[in-house]
Amino acid sequence: MEKSAAVAKALLFIDEDRVVSLVREVCRIPSVLGDELAFAKFLVGVMTDSDFSDVRLQEVLPDRPNAVGELDFGPGRRVVLTGHLDTKPASIGWTEAAPFSGDLIDGYVYGHGIMDMKAALVCQIVAAEAVRASGVPISGRLAFAGVSDHMGDQTGSIRYFDEYTADLCVLGELSDNEIYLGHRGRYYFDITAQGRSAHTCHKPLAINANVLAAKAIIELDASRLTPELEPWVRELFGEETYMAPGRVYGGLPPGGPSMIPDECVIRVDCRPQPGVSVETVRAEVERCLENVRRADPRFTAKVELADVKSGYVADPQSEVVQTMMEAVRLVRGGEPQLRAAGWLGDTASFGDKIPTVIFGPGGEPVYCPNEKLSVADIVEATRVYTAFSVLALLK
């Protein structure tokens, strides 16, 4: 069957009312990081009722499973549609709807986490249903994985791809229904400024670690690291590797006795472009701290690498990207633009072994009061996932 005809037929079988109704339902299920169980159970129920195979709660962390299932179309390769279950905490200040209402107002569905990424998960499941219902001649397996702990250590994605593989994968992170090739990485460095403690009444004998840390914070925040990059990577992600002293663990705990502290920890959040090594970023951190030492010889600190999440970028000429580009052309027309994200995706943990492209409804700002997503964007995302799945599995 010709590709465009197969896609056109599958698109006719998308149940638009169903996808909108399910998006509204999942918006009513809180799934803040650590509390993903109810959402996972709901999606498992949807797939079970829809006769998916291998439907189950895949164990990840206690009471924090993945929701997995798939459709079997015979021998062939395996295509995975995936995204995360967990969200950040709800914002204050909602006025147009309640955070977990799922209200439909003037063509928009309102809900906390709808863009990151509850809607995409529903769109993926309904797209798989449409592919099956259409009866187009495809072969292989079309799998779904709603994963937990994205905003923690990405344990859910790691667990899923430890057990399952994939020939092609779509990550449904919010991309404004545009094609994202990848995202920056995340390196955490903990810098412990060390001083000398004393009773506050003996201030002249002390070296206040908080004061030393403050000087380091100012220097680190002024960093403008522009590492060497391939031109096309620089064009996608920009020149600067962003660094920010994001958290400070300083001084003494509240409610205890008072004294001048001898230790203060700064966590530096670094967001490198793909290809920028830990060593390159660490050298920049050390350069900043050396500037502080020259300005204040009392300054001393130790640097520890606390966490590494790699950046990801797909080859624009790879099959997974080219297939997504064709899917978008068939659904929307015109030539798709290839972009990249600043946020961190689960591809940090599995992109090195699974060819993946990023596509999903919703965009910035996200996690704000009155978060909403248009019905039109929800439907379009479902159409693109449907088209991609057909193209990837067509005989």
Which of 309, 328, 359 is the last residue in one of the domains? 309
166 lies in the same domain as 31: yes
169 lies in the same domain as 190: no
Chain position carrying tokens 């090195």: 352
227 lies in the same domain as 315: no
Rounded to an integer, the average pLDDT of 51-79 is: 98
- What pLDDT, on a 0 to 100 scale, did the predictor assign at position 364? 87
- What pLDDT, on a 0 to 100 scale, did the predictor assign at position 349? 96
- What pLDDT, on a 0 to 100 scale, did the predictor assign at position 214? 97
Percent of the chain with pLDDT over 90: 96
pLDDT at 193 over 90: yes
138 lies in the same domain as 92: yes
Axis-axis angle for helices 3-11, 119-134 (nearest 10): 110
**247-303: pLDDT as tens digits:** 998 877 777 778 999 999 999 999 999 999 999 999 999 999 999 999 999 999 999
**92-117: pLDDT as tens digits:** 999 999 999 999 999 999 999 999 99
Which of 283, 309, 335 is the last residue in one of the domains? 309
Domain residues for 35?
3-183+311-393
The identity of residue 176, as a single letter, is D
pLDDT at 373 over 80: yes
**379-389: pLDDT as tens digits:** 999 999 999 99
Token output for 84 = 């995360």
pLDDT at 54 over 90: yes
- What pLDDT, on a 0 to 100 scale, did the predictor assign at position 176? 97
147 lies in the same domain as 238: no
Token output for 391 = 């193209």
Rounded to an integer, the average pLDDT of 26-35 is: 98
Q: Please, what is the average pLDDT of the chain?
A: 97
Rounded to an integer, the average pLDDT of 60-79 is: 98
322 lies in the same domain as 303: no
305 lies in the same domain as 322: no
At 288, which CATH number?
A: 3.30.70.360
Alpha-carbon gap, residue 60 to 52, rounded angstroms: 21
DSSP string, 218-262: HHHHT--B-----HHHHHHH-S-BEEEEEEEEES--TTS---B-S
- What pLDDT, on a 0 to 100 scale, did the predictor assign at position 224? 97
- What pLDDT, on a 0 to 100 scale, did the predictor assign at position 37? 98
CA distance readout (Å), 370 to 19, 108, 176, 254:
21, 11, 17, 35
- What pLDDT, on a 0 to 100 scale, did the predictor assign at position 255? 76
- Count CB atoms within 10 A of the CB of residue 287: 12
232 lies in the same domain as 334: no
215 lies in the same domain as 267: yes
269 lies in the same domain as 317: no
At 318, which CATH number?
A: 3.40.630.10
Reported as a pLDDT band with limits 50, 70 and 90, residue 1 is confident
Which of 291, 309, 327 is the last residue in one of the domains? 309
The identity of residue 148, as a single letter, is S
7 lies in the same domain as 126: yes
Backbone angles phi, psi at 77, to 5 degrees: -85, 175
133 lies in the same domain as 264: no
What's the structural domain count of the chain?
A: 2
